[in-house]
Amino acid sequence: MAVDIREQTLADWGEFSFIGFLRDRLPASHPELLLGIGDDASWWRPAGGEVLTTTDMLVEGVHFDLAYTSAADLGWKSLAVNLSDLAAMGGRPACVYLALGLPGTTRRSWLEEFIDAFLELADHYGVQLAGGDTVRSETLVISVALNGIPAAAGPVRRAGARPGDDLYLSGSVGDSFLGLRCLQGRLSVSGPAGIFLRERHLRPRPRVELGAFLGTSGMVNAMLDVSDGLIADLGHLLSASGGWGAELEIENLPLSSAAREALRAGMCDYPELLTGGEDFELLFSLAPDRFPELAAAVAGVGVELTRIGRITSKPGIFLLGPDRLPYQLDGKEGYDHFQTRDC
């Protein structure tokens, strides 16, 4: 009886057979990549002359749970989170390095599905897989390093927000948090809304085109992506900019129809949506009179931008509810790798 090779484990398949499979899956090398997989190091000659580098690590049981995360979803997300970081600095992604710590019992079929989704997203944004590493590990560990090219004027940094700036957020906030709760069985949302929320957690859409437009616009004073939760990441931006404060207007928060319905039904509250994390939207500040020009410039990207507040000279983050009355977060802030126990 024929044996299905996709049911082989990594121990059966072997490290170098896996690397050979991976090399065969790659498209023709990007012109800027002179030497990719197959030697001791890659050789890259970027046309821009300057390089942005970001790296993220995903660990089983900390960042994901295989009980509800497929190989394809994980392959997609492991690249998406790095693309989001690069977008937050207004960069153009170029080449990526993938390192995997894999149990020997990992199925070949699982690895193929992981790589297919990883390369699908890479191809969508013109990213070349240029190298990496594989090791045997007791638990699944994924480490991705992404290189890119900054805008001609330089990268957009977290530092640079000024009192009087308006704060804008792309897309919507809180969907990933609700999707995670659905996947964990802690929230029941059926139909298209449930599918949407789960997808927002498992397959985030990095704002690569928007980030590149904002980076070349020269109008944005400070920017980052929302990965640890809106409140926590706004705090990072304020700290990097010199310790300014911010006012956020609760009623102006951009929420999807699924999130609004969950809020109305009492399935969640504003603090959870503000601190849940993994939205991978872009949060940025700019002078109030620049937005009309900026909105016209990025109209073709197709991502909604919402004014959610402003930078103040008074330190701290102040939430304003209806009628501009103070709104309390009840001590919630955001994700911390060494304090949060949830994946």
What's the pLDDT tens digit per position in 310-338? 999 999 999 998 777 788 776 555 444 43
The chain-wide mean pLDDT, for the chain, equals: 90
At residue 256, does pLDDT exceed 60? yes
At residue 125, does pLDDT exceed 60? yes
As a whole number of angstroms, the distance between CA 23 and CA 36 comes to 9
Token pair 């937050």 is found at 88
At residue 14, does pLDDT exceed 90? no
What's the pLDDT tens digit per position in 288-303? 999 999 999 898 899 9
What's the pLDDT tens digit per position in 199-241? 999 999 999 999 999 999 999 999 999 999 999 999 999 999 9
Chain centre to alpha carbon of residue 296: 25
Phi and psi at residue 94, to the nearest 5° = -130, -65
As a whole number of angstroms, the distance between CA 272 and CA 269 comes to 6
Write out the E strands in 16-165: 33-35, 43-44, 52-59, 92-102, 128-136, 141-149
Q: Which residue has the higher pLDDT, 340 or 202?
A: 202
At residue 342, does pLDDT exceed 70? no
Token pair 């699982």 is found at 110
As a whole number of angstroms, the distance between CA 310 and CA 306 comes to 12
Token pair 């207004």 is found at 90
As a whole number of angstroms, the distance between CA 304 and CA 289 comes to 18
pTM (predicted TM-score): 0.88
Q: Which of 45-59, 98-112, 130-144 has the lowest mean pLDDT?
A: 45-59
Mean pLDDT of the region 52-64: 94
**SS3 state of residue 170:** strand
* Contact residues for 291 (Cβ-Cβ < 8 A; gap 6+): 166, 168, 307
What's the pLDDT tens digit per position in 162-178? 999 999 999 999 999 99
Strand order in the sheet with 222-225: 222-225, 282-286, 166-170, 305-312, 245-249, 316-320, 326-327
At residue 15, does pLDDT exceed 90? no
Tokens linked to 266: 């009492």
Token pair 């139909």 is found at 191
- Return the percentage of the chain with pLDDT > 90, whole number: 76
- Determine the length of the chain: 343
CB atoms within 10 A of CB 314: 10
| pLDDT reported for residue 335 | 46
Residue type, position 329, single letter: L
At residue 44, does pLDDT exceed 90? no
What are the structural domains, with CATH classification, of the chain?
9-149 (3.30.1330.10), 166-327 (3.90.650.10)
* Contact residues for 69 (Cβ-Cβ < 8 A; gap 6+): 183, 202
| pLDDT reported for residue 319 | 93
Q: Which residue has the higher pLDDT, 33 or 178?
A: 178
* Contact residues for 338 (Cβ-Cβ < 8 A; gap 6+): none
Mean pLDDT of the region 183-202: 97
Mean pLDDT of the region 57-63: 94
As a whole number of angstroms, the distance between CA 46 and CA 327 comes to 48
Nearest alpha-carbon partner for 162 in 313, 342, 52: 313
Q: Do residues 77 and 202 touch, judged by C-beta distance below 8 A? A: yes
